[in-house]
Amino acid sequence: MENVSQKEIADEEMIEQEFQELLNDYLSTKHRKRVEIITKAFNFANQAHKGIKRRSGEPYIMHPLAVAKIVCNEIGLGSTSICAALLHDVVEDTDYTVEDIENIFGPKIAQIVDGLTKISGGIFGDRASAQAENFKKLLLTMSNDVRVILIKIADRLHNMRTLGSMLPNKQYKIAGETLYIYAPLANRLGLYKIKTELENLSFKYEHPEEYHEIEEKLNATAAMRDKVFQEFTAPIVTQLNKMGLKYHILARVKSIYSIWNKMQTKHVPFEEIYDLLAVRIIFEPRNPDEELNDCFDIYVTISKIYKPHPDRLRDWVSHPKANGYQALHVTLMGTNGQWIEVQIRSERMNDVAEQGFAAHWKYKDGGGGEDEGELEKWLRTIKEILDDPQPDAIDFLDTIKLNLFASEIFVFTPKGELKTMPQNSTALDFAFSLHTDIGSHCIGAQVNHKLVPLSHKLQSGDQVEIITSKSQRVQPQWEAFATTARARSKIAAILRKDRKTNQKEGEEMLNEFLKVEEIRPDAIAIKKLYKLHNMKNEEEFYVAIGNRSIVLGEADKNELKEKPSTNWKKYLTFSFGGNNKEAAAEKEPQEKEPINPKQILKLTEESIQKNYLMAECCHPIPGDDVLGYIDENNRVIIHKRQCPVAAKLKSSYGNRIIATEWDTHKSLSFLVYIYIKGIDSMGLLNEVTQVISRQLGVNIRKLNLETNDGIFEGKIQLYVHDVDDVKAICNNLLKVPNIKSVTRVEE
């Protein structure tokens, strides 16, 4: 017993110390000093979670305390949010209700805790597709109070920081969900620092080896980067001092996840990523009204020292991004012949960049409402999408994601008003952004006074006028070239409505036709007719009659007047025979033994050939970071962890994900694709095949090389045993003179 109480005393001291740190952090902010209510929330939560441990073995209250610290220090929110963070798991994990919270802490804190409770279960929700549903709830609650989502992001950040104590299949699910939902949300809300950490942590758990490899290379090149930074900034410092500004200069190193992402998308090795280093100048404006001018003054000063890149000036100062981000980005040619990006920001802009909308709390005077114009617009869009129930939650997620990842373009109305639109928006998207009526009746657009089709992609700075016609109706093909969430959801809703109307009209017209011909409208007669018109089913048939693409006439009468006796037998035997086969086929997969998602699945030669399928979308091979997905027929499909399809599955069917590991012994062969590029020279093809076939004994299935202006590039399809084979091939090919890059690609 003595031992236990020692542990309890130690735990209590640790909890008390953590709480004191939270209070000290809060007291050093500019918020009103409402220590009493925070202490009350802490005591209440501490009591409610007493005796409960997290999976890591520490007292549960340490989690709400950690989330409250993130909310206070890293997002910069005040006492209401800190209290809600401390209480965020009380309603879900104990017997207290939202009403209890309201009685003790008032309606505002209770409302936020209620919002957080509604979207919990995110990680452990067991229903298939629960993630998309949770996300929907998340956005619904968010549109009432943005603090709900900010605290939820803090909660997720702490979960990611402590992910090591979870089971591997849960790690992949949580990491995948974080990359798919929470990192883009953090980005959209301007929480750049948190977004970066969420991405890095997700990547670390999904691809541990690649993470450490890049980390080591970054450490190895750190001294060199530091030298470049010192040399590059020395003359800048001299000039800024002459200007008499208060400022500091920082080196910003590209995040490990961003580096990896660039290596993947551009098919380049680490050594060919040249923008690892960026320089950030953060200054205090001479007076608040001069902030913008100071940015440009600094730009002019430094571009006298180094040549700026003509196409790479990004002015987010005059036109802030939709998430509030403001800065001036300029790319300069350093003395070592490398382009270096310089980001110029005031202290305020820097806070907004790192803390997003939450930074507005810090800069507002008095207790008035924050100005969240852009955020309000975004939330309105989401509300509209939520008001129109989507049949499939996954589509909904994708629709929202279109909005999350959007970087913006600026377009003008004919009257010169500025509109922010997501990149890749079309004229049709712009029409729907003005009004649903304009969107649904538009027939074309004038962009910069030139007539263009609705599918025309808009560029920043375009002036757009929409041309409408009363007789125009929404067309099904519009779905293909609408890119914004708003336009897509509106088009889908209108098409669904039209379809229902057409179906109803079609059914009435068919019944009328059959009545005139004195034929009973039974299932067999209707089936004959829709087969005659090559329609898939009754519903399609009605829609086609309703929208006048099928006109009933002589052919239909003749089809129905035939003697049914011969067909009748055929129809009968076909249906019974078919059903029996289907029944037999359906039974078969169920005889496999069930799979336990909690265990790590070993992928052996035998099991790969018998039981598991390799995903067609990403062609995994032994040695790749992979996971398993149990489909509806209890089959296990193996995907690479970074495969986009797997990313979707992790977020939507997380409970069907299994952790897997390879246990193969170089007896099976797998097809891989290698992309090579270099300078063309005599005998190169011969050398490539020598390396692959002679040196390594690997079987080439297909070779396709093209030369253009002295540069060759191409793909080789090979049969290999595992990732080690691929590495050996890539390394050996890189030793061939004139081959500049060799990478494995999906296809």
Catalytic residues: 92-93
Among 461, 472, 462, 463, CA closest to 439: 472
Among 675, 643, 685, 660, CA closest to 741: 675
C-beta separation of 67 from 42 below 8 A: no
* Long-range pairs, 217-221, Cβ under 8 A, ≥24: 217/270, 218/253, 218/256, 218/259, 218/276, 221/276
Whole-Å CA distances, 597 to 168, 173, 559 = 10, 12, 54
In Å, how far from its chain's centre is CA 163? 20
Among 17, 86, 98, CA closest to 47: 86
Alpha helices (H) in 252-392, listed in sequence order: 256-266, 291-305, 347-355, 359-363, 373-387
Alpha helices (H) in 484-564, listed in sequence order: 485-516, 523-532, 538-546, 554-561
Element (H, E) at 713: strand 711-720
Encoded tokens for 343: 């980001």
C-beta separation of 680 from 710 below 8 A: yes
Q: Give the separation between CA 469 and CA 132, rounded to whole angstroms.
A: 37
Give the SS3 label for residue 640.
Answer: strand
C-beta separation of 81 from 147 below 8 A: yes
C-beta separation of 742 from 674 below 8 A: yes
Encoded tokens for 83: 């209290």
Q: Give the separation between CA 539 and CA 502, rounded to whole angstroms.
A: 10
Encoded tokens for 499: 């379809």
Q: Write down the residue that tokens 């805790």 correspond to.
A: 113
Q: Write down the residue that tokens 């062969």 correspond to.
A: 669
| Sign of the alpha-carbon torsion through 194, 199, 205, 209 | negative
C-beta separation of 160 from 172 below 8 A: no
Q: Kindly report the backbone phi and psi dihedral angles of residue 672, in degrees, each rounded to the nearest multiple of 5, phi listed first.
A: -130, 160
Give the SS3 label for residue 672.
Answer: strand
* Long-range pairs, 229-236, Cβ under 8 A, ≥24: 229/277, 229/279, 231/334, 231/335, 231/336, 232/279, 232/334, 232/335, 232/340, 233/279, 235/305, 236/279, 236/281, 236/302, 236/305
Q: Give the separation between CA 742 and CA 718, rounded to whole angstroms.
A: 14
| Angle, CA 743 vertex, CA 740 and CA 747 arms, to 5° | 130
Q: How many CB atoms neighbour CB 468 within 10 A?
A: 15
Q: Kindly report the backbone phi and psi dihedral angles of residue 247, in degrees, each rounded to the nearest multiple of 5, phi listed first.
A: -160, 170
Tell me, what amino acid is at 20?
Answer: Q
Cα torsion for 491, 493, 498, 501, to the nearest 10°? 180
* String of DSSP letters for 396-435: HHHHHHHHHSPPEEEEE-TT--EEEEETT-BHHHHHHHH-
Cβ burial of 469 (10 Å; 0-12, 13-18, 19+) is: exposed
- Helices and strands (H and E) in the chain: how many: 32, 19
